[in-house]
Chains A and B, each alone.
Chain A
Amino acid sequence: MPRERSRPGSDVAWALALAAVLAVVAVVFVARPFLRDPAPASDQLDELAPEARQRLALAEERDRALAALKELEFDHRTGKVSDVDYRAQVGPLRRRAAEALRALERGEQPGHERSPDHGQRVS
């Protein structure tokens, strides 16, 4: 291993300069939201309003019901679920899915006086 030529002064200077640059860039990046928007209309952090939460829960319920139906069909086609079991289960599942879809549509009814749920809509 070749011995390094020691130039401690220059090394330290480089190091400090680099560190300083990094720090400045970091600080600017951290301050960016304030620099970009010094006087915003609203500084409120959006959160899900109760209706939005409700709707989300319904959407997840709907997706679950639809996925369960899809799996039931697949399992039936591959023979894992017998005809008897299939008939027994498909009815209730379809009803659940239909209910979830209906509930979701109801929620989307006009009456668009929705409180800000801007957490869902995105800039």
Chain B
Amino acid sequence: MAALGRAALLLAFGLIAYALIAGSYAAWKRRRRLALSAQNALIAAFPATLVAAAVLFVALGRRDLTFAYVAQHTSHKLPLGYALSAFWGGQEGSLLLWLLILSGYAGLAVWLNRRSRDLVAWTVPVFALVASFFAFMLCFVSSPFNVAPAPADGAGMVPSLQNPYMLAHPPMLYLGYVGLTVPFAFAMGALLSGRTDERWIVATRRWTLAAWTFLGVGQLIGSHWAYVEIGWGGYYAWDPVENAALMPWLAATAFLHSVMIQEKRGMLKVWNMVLVALAFNLSLFGTFLTRSGVIDSIHSFSQSPIGGWFLGFLVLMVVLSVALIYWRLPLLRTKTRLESLVSREATFLYNNLLLVALCLTILWGVLYPVLSDAVRGETRSVSKPYYDFFLHTFGLPLLLLMGIGPLVAWRRASLRSLGKTFLIPFGFAVITGVVLLALGFGSSWPGLLTYTFSAFVVASIALEFVRGRAATGSVVRLIGRNRRRYGGYIVHAAVVLLAIGIAGSSAYQTVREQHLRPGQSIEAAGYTLTYRGSTDVRGANYTGFRALLSASGHGEHFNLDPGMNDYAIEGPSNEASIYHDPRSLGDVFTKAQLVKGNVIDLQVLVKPLVNLIWAAGFVFVLGALIAMWPDAVEQRRLAARYAAGAVPAGL
């Protein structure tokens, strides 16, 4: 069976290598049939990879421990769902997942746009170049199909990964990471073929939006998982692994906005190329970071077999991107200039600057330990205060801009009309700010500013809907006719929810910790929790305890049972107990550890509004779907523009 997997991967590698070499030659020498042949090879790589993936899935499902990979990541007692999810739990499997998704996306994107032959002729080798790296690694460096004599039992899976979120989080992220390859490949294809028109943007707009959505949702799922499962009471720790996903997402957000400017005004062509290359290379970097341990210590980097390869490939792609953009600079330059610093284009530009600045600050924070080790021989790292500072410095103005943007017209907005449109949201925000200040929210100025700015944005978005509805008659018609704009507003609303949830649960949270004997109580933010006693628990692969708490406050009564599980193989793990308070949309988060006998150390975190963060995820997806929704009229218009009878379909 492993032989089949290996053979399938070799076949995939062969096809991809052919697509790369033959495709480049065909595009360069303008050979039609060879280009088509290369295209076919790229498309065929997907079924080959699929076979390899199927082999691994079956081996995992069967717990076939002759596969070294299966033995390393599963065990006989591991439930089936988690055993299958071990596919992406290890290095080799996650490389295979990358290749699987990439070959699928690439094949589909190329096939959908096959009518634009000159563009696709160059896009194929770019896709193939990226895919060839992963295929090469899978075949010759890091294979999931190594066999070894089967041990008695596998190594099992870390308990914190045995959680439904683990089934969704990595695949979501990968669908996002890999998805950013699509706009990148088409962008580089456009540069290589010398096309300066918008074809590549039109082809990839929905792909980019989809990838960006997956990446965002994947991060939210990961945060939620960390919150409930790892159980330290937070959801984001600025860990390099987390930042690895945030950075490409920020770059992609900037790209999604600036691409709109190129569509509307024909400006910023160079900037868009830079952004799409940045987003793609950051997603490669993110994959590399998560898989190679380079950030732990510059020395552990050299111990990971793939670290060096990945770095080399990343450098290659960066150099290639820069070279291509530089080469085509003359073609990309336009004469269009920004007409006014007070226009929607300008707000998009400011938004871009802030997003990229935030992204680069995070990148710097991530690289700092590596650089300081290389330069000074001593590893220094930055932590929460650094990131929080920049999150406030860049994030708050970004929040504000989300409210300003919709109010400003394209090209040029006179200060007078600005004054009129700004009045209501501004007034609403000021009133909110004053009220909050009076209620004591001034204890945290970033929190207060977040709430106030959020009020501004909410008012601004609401006004858009109100005014729009007045103009078109109904909200449904309004949205239907302006899907991108109003889908975008809904996404902005999701971001506001996110901001409010984050501010509430961090700036205004209450933390209390105390040793408790049975019968004793602890108070936090108006809640009283009483420790009743502890009880033992036992599961298939663990033993542990739970501290039984009865709680009351704000007119509610509820029970909590925080504790710990001790897993036979993997060690102890925290089992936090959380109460979701419908009144405040917040949580009462409890953690307990046994001190001695049945005395516990109890930690209580009261986190107002934290559930808005998760709710934001749903609103986010809704908005993105609306923005993505195909518009028949628009499709026809684009079809007429680019090719007779063909739809330049993205998705």
A/B touching: CB–CB < 8 A:
yes
Taking beta carbons and an 8 Å cutoff, which residues of A are in contact with B?
A: 1, 4, 11-12, 14-16, 18-19, 22-23, 26, 29-34, 37, 40, 42-48, 53, 56-57, 59-61, 63-64, 67-68, 71-72, 74-75, 77-82, 84-85, 89, 119-122
Establish whether residues B420 and A82, one from each chain, have CB atoms under 8 Å apart when the complex forms.
yes
Establish whether residues A22 and B411, one from each chain, have CB atoms under 8 Å apart when the complex forms.
no
B3 contacts the other chain (Cβ, under 8 Å)? yes
Establish whether residues B117 and A119, one from each chain, have CB atoms under 8 Å apart when the complex forms.
yes
Q: How far is the CA of A68 from the CA of B193 in the complex (A)?
A: 29
Residues of the B chain whose Cβ atoms lie less than 8 Å from the Cβ of A44 = 30, 32
Establish whether residues A120 and B643, one from each chain, have CB atoms under 8 Å apart when the complex forms.
yes
Residues of the A chain whose Cβ atoms lie less than 8 Å from the Cβ of B15 = 26, 30
A15 and B32 in contact (CB under 8 A), knowing A1-B63, A26-B48, A122-B643?
no
Min CB–CB distance B400 → chain A (angstroms)? 18
B84 contacts the other chain (Cβ, under 8 Å)? no
Establish whether residues B471 and A46, one from each chain, have CB atoms under 8 Å apart when the complex forms.
no
Establish whether residues A45 and B409, one from each chain, have CB atoms under 8 Å apart when the complex forms.
no
Establish whether residues B266 and A18, one from each chain, have CB atoms under 8 Å apart when the complex forms.
no
The residue in chain A whose Cβ has the minimal distance to the Cβ of B116 is A119
Q: How far is the CA of A60 from the CA of B198 in the complex (A)?
A: 8
A/B interface sample: 24 pairs, CB < 8 A: A4-B62, A4-B64, A18-B51, A23-B11, A30-B18, A30-B44, A33-B32, A44-B30, A45-B27, A45-B118, A48-B118, A56-B197, A59-B641, A60-B266, A64-B264, A74-B482, A78-B464, A79-B421, A79-B467, A85-B412, A85-B413, A85-B414, A85-B417, A119-B117
Residues of the A chain whose Cβ atoms lie less than 8 Å from the Cβ of B44 = 26, 29-30
Interface of A is mostly: helix
Contact of A15 among B1, B407, B409, B645 (CB under 8 A): B1
Q: How far is the CA of A63 from the CA of B202 in the complex (A)?
A: 13
Number of A-B contacts (CB under 8 A): 160
Establish whether residues B33 and A34, one from each chain, have CB atoms under 8 Å apart when the complex forms.
yes
Establish whether residues A22 and B641, one from each chain, have CB atoms under 8 Å apart when the complex forms.
no
Q: Knowing that A46-B32, A84-B416, A122-B115 touch, tell me 6 more A-B residue pairs with CB under 8 angstroms.
A: A1-B62, A16-B7, A23-B7, A32-B36, A89-B411, A120-B643
Min CB–CB distance B67 → chain A (angstroms)? 13
Contact of B471 among A23, A47, A61, A78 (CB under 8 A): A78
Residues of the A chain whose Cβ atoms lie less than 8 Å from the Cβ of B51 = 18, 22
Establish whether residues A22 and B8, one from each chain, have CB atoms under 8 Å apart when the complex forms.
yes
Taking beta carbons and an 8 Å cutoff, which residues of B are in contact with A?
A: 1, 3-4, 7-8, 11, 15, 18, 26-27, 30-37, 40-41, 43-44, 47-48, 51, 62-64, 76, 115-118, 121, 193, 195-199, 263-266, 407, 409-414, 416-417, 420-421, 464, 467-468, 470-471, 482, 637, 641-646
Min CB–CB distance A115 → chain B (angstroms)? 14
Contact of B4 among A15, A33, A71 (CB under 8 A): A15
A33 and B36 in contact (CB under 8 A), knowing A47-B30, A120-B643?
yes
Q: How far is the CA of A37 from the CA of B643 in the complex (A)?
A: 23
Contact of A72 among B1, B41, B410, B464 (CB under 8 A): B410
The residue in chain A whose Cβ has the minimal distance to the Cβ of B197 is A56
A119 and B48 in contact (CB under 8 A), knowing A33-B33, A71-B410, A75-B409?
no
Residues of the A chain whose Cβ atoms lie less than 8 Å from the Cβ of B409 = 72, 75, 80-81, 85
Residues of the A chain whose Cβ atoms lie less than 8 Å from the Cβ of B645 = 122
Q: Which of B7, B63, B196, B637 has the most CB of A within 10 A?
A: B7
Establish whether residues B193 and A77, one from each chain, have CB atoms under 8 Å apart when the complex forms.
no
Residues of the B chain whose Cβ atoms lie less than 8 Å from the Cβ of A81 = 409, 413, 417
Min CB–CB distance B354 → chain A (angstroms)? 23
Establish whether residues B643 and A64, one from each chain, have CB atoms under 8 Å apart when the complex forms.
no
Q: How far is the CA of A98 from the CA of B76 in the complex (A)?
A: 73
